[in-house]
Amino acid sequence: MVFRSIHISALPLVAVLALGSTLWAQSAEVTATDALVPAAHILTIKFKGKIGPLLSGSDPLGLDGLSGTVTIKANESLSPTKHTANSATYMLPAGAISVVAGSNRFKTTQPSKMVINLLNTADTLTLDIAGPDGLQVTSTTFLKAGSWTTAVLKHPAVFTPSPQKLTAAKTASGPGCKIQYIIEGTTSVLGFAGTGSNSATAEPMFSEGLSQ
């Protein structure tokens, strides 16, 4: 997440990333010019709540107790880079994830990894995110078991019910929602409690001016 104690000067640079560029980077290659591209179904996932308690480490960024939001946008036509019988790994382009912690915020400027696991006890979504100034964040969210169908192992898809309650982990290695961040060689793990919601919309796009 984000981070009043590191160089804030880096953050405005990522704010100029356009959503249109993000979504197009996830779309199929288009060769026509000035053509209307068929509507892309864009999945939006949002986790919103409170960061904490501190489960491990010293929390040098002072995130414990702050409100936090993670927003993910993914084209539903994406295919996994790796999958098993109950998991799928997707690579999301720069700009696909926005993170807010208190009054601080950033949008990813590098590709991020999203891993979905369908387990007997819960369905989990794990994000590996690179932030500004060398910050590395791993966010693990536990949803109700059966929130996704097995279709999510082939392409990103909505989960149900939406919204649903998110429960914070009680230990750094135990079940429940948590956020791990590494900055300047220090690792901290905090819980996260709130709500998770998602939706999918069709967003038509034009090929003019977009790189192929």
Question: Contact 179/69 with Cβ under 8 angstroms?
Answer: no
- Asked whether the whole model's pTM tops 0.85, one would answer no
Burial class (CB in 10 A: 0-12, 13-18, 19+), 141: buried
pLDDT band at 104 (very low <50, low <70, confident <90, very high): confident
pLDDT of 32 > 70? The answer is no
Residue 206 to residues 16, 25, 43, 94, 173, Cα–Cα distance (Å): 20, 13, 19, 20, 46
For position 202, what pLDDT does the model report? 80
